[in-house]
Chains A and B, each alone.
Chain A
């Protein structure tokens, strides 16, 4: 689905990313984890074709991502950004409807409204439909944007990809799980997701691949069991931890301190 080799990204002389390889298969739920400033967001940005720099090639569905036609590409992939704009003087439903922009020309059609309503229910923002976006709380805004991203990839195309940069920020526990379940459900239909996460335990529970980063480099890559060892994590975060099996689902459980 997505292949990137030897990604370098630097700001002046300072390497933000240094020789990073990423391979993603159909159906993968890849979590990018790592301490602050490890280059997680930069990596996601480059993979999503936001930053064009250097000569590295990113192949999306066996075609270089920069060669895709912009509108066509927007039906195959969507991105949830970390710094969502705070001031959007529109109603919530208008913001979610933006996700349908690739699909209609001047005015939304019936299926656009259906898709919008469906995903507003799933992300639990349907009751905020008529509210002004600017009056929402931080977590509600996050859910509105998650809804917008999911609406964008609601179509008949197979094997789509979503990028999410810290989608759980500001969300309460229930909505954190809900958001991850929505993403998981999406990847179970042969679609893929690349998600930057901070909570290692949630990453272990939902993702099937983990990319652990430190200082612009990949320090471990593999399944949660492979990556989440006490040694890897202590080294990456420079903080002691213990790993045990999760009492309910047997995933690795990380306890810091």
Chain B
């Protein structure tokens, strides 16, 4: 009873904080609603007030609200995928960026953007529409399977191999993406730059609906896995003795995290290190107890990315700073901090 109510308490507090921050973020921006508060404008929109100006409507709903929701969804997914990967690899350094998942996704997404035009017409309509997204998912999945094969044998992960195979995949991705940039046309070039920097500026409600569906499916599978990830710390054989179907668990994590990372990359480009920062902070508070840090990373990830995105679009207003710069700025030092802490065990 005790731990259960504690978890729900933390979840409630952080969810409330998220709501407050989301409302605050609504107030931040260059556009002026003729002296009205953005919150009033939003409630006018929701209640269907006919007096609402078209431009006000557009800015509050299709620009700000859509972007805030997207940062919440993407942040949550990136954090949960990071936490699950760390559980699978039994190491706090495992994140989508470090092990090459993000690069794999970016690479195939870039190929789809630049070369997609040549073979798009042969594909079914459904696939055509979401070609970039599907490519990103496949890219992430391939990278994941490659890294896992290289770095893990007999249920033990070699951390050095894991990170180095990530380096290899990243450099392959970097060179091919570079080549694609070199041969791409103007419009494609803009798309590609967007992948590499990461941005939530292209948020729309259609994208949010897709993200929400992906989240619902992924979390239904992953969030109840806290116990299983704890048991994995004993080693795979002992986890099996505790009644955990280890093979199935591993497959589920591989597929679902690839799906989440791929979707995030397809919609917002490379926003690095969220999956590293969030579990790092939670581990300081709850050790590595995944029954706590897995569900809490879903909320804390949203909080982090919402704050980062609000800063990125307001710090150099009316222009905006690519959000990836901010998250990497926090993430890099944390990565080094974890490395130093693990120096002795590497």
Find out whether the CB atom of B345 lies under 8 angstroms from the CB atom of A90: no
What mask results when residues 143 to 156 of chain B are scored 1 for a CB within 8 Å of chain A, else 0? 00000000000000
What mask results when residues 212 to 243 of chain B are scored 1 for a CB within 8 Å of chain A, else 0? 00000000000010111011011101101111
Residues A71-129 near B (CB distance < 8 A):
71-75, 77-79, 81, 83-85, 87-91, 94, 98-99, 101-102, 105-108, 110
Which B-chain residue is minimally distant from A93 (CB atoms)?
A: B3
Contacting residues, chain B, for A106 (C-beta < 8 A) = 4, 224, 226-227, 291
- Interface membership of A191, Cβ < 8 A: no
Q: How many residues of A contact B (CB 8 A)?
A: 33
Find out whether the CB atom of B245 lies under 8 angstroms from the CB atom of A98: no
Find out whether the CB atom of A89 lies under 8 angstroms from the CB atom of B3: no
Contacting residues, chain B, for A78 (C-beta < 8 A) = 241
Q: Known A73-B243, A74-B241, A106-B291; judge A87-B345 contact (CB<8 A).
A: yes
Q: Known A79-B238, A87-B345; judge A101-B243 contact (CB<8 A).
A: yes
CA distance A89 to B240 in the complex (A): 20
Interface of B, secondary structure class, is helix
Find out whether the CB atom of B235 lies under 8 angstroms from the CB atom of A50: no
Q: Known A90-B230, A94-B230; judge A101-B244 contact (CB<8 A).
A: yes
Residues B258-298 near A (CB distance < 8 A):
283, 287-289, 291
- Interface membership of A227, Cβ < 8 A: no
Q: Which listed residue (A70, A90, A105) contacts B287, Cβ 8 A? A: A90
Which B-chain residue is minimally distant from A45 (CB atoms)?
A: B237
Find out whether the CB atom of A98 lies under 8 angstroms from the CB atom of B1: no
Which A-chain residue is minimally distant from B233 (CB atoms)?
A: A88
Q: Known A89-B283, A107-B3, A107-B7; judge A101-B235 contact (CB<8 A).
A: no
Chain A: minimal CB distance from B293 (Å): 11
Name the residue among B4, B237, B241 with the largest chain A CB count within 10 angstroms.
B241
Q: Known A90-B288, A106-B224; judge A85-B233 contact (CB<8 A).
A: yes
Contacting residues, chain B, for A195 (C-beta < 8 A) = none
Which A-chain residue is minimally distant from B5 (CB atoms)?
A: A107
Q: Known A70-B243, A101-B227, A105-B224; judge A90-B237 contact (CB<8 A).
A: no
- Interface membership of A187, Cβ < 8 A: no
Name the residue among B231, B242, B289 with the largest chain A CB count within 10 angstroms.
B242
- Interface membership of A48, Cβ < 8 A: yes
Chain B: minimal CB distance from A74 (Å): 3
Find out whether the CB atom of B291 lies under 8 angstroms from the CB atom of A71: no
Residues A177-228 near B (CB distance < 8 A):
none
| A-B CB proximity, top 5 nearest | A74-B243, A102-B243, A71-B243, A107-B4, A89-B288
User: Which A residues contact B (CB, under 8 angstroms)?
Assistant: 45, 48, 50, 70-75, 77-79, 81, 83-85, 87-91, 94, 98-99, 101-102, 105-108, 110, 132, 152
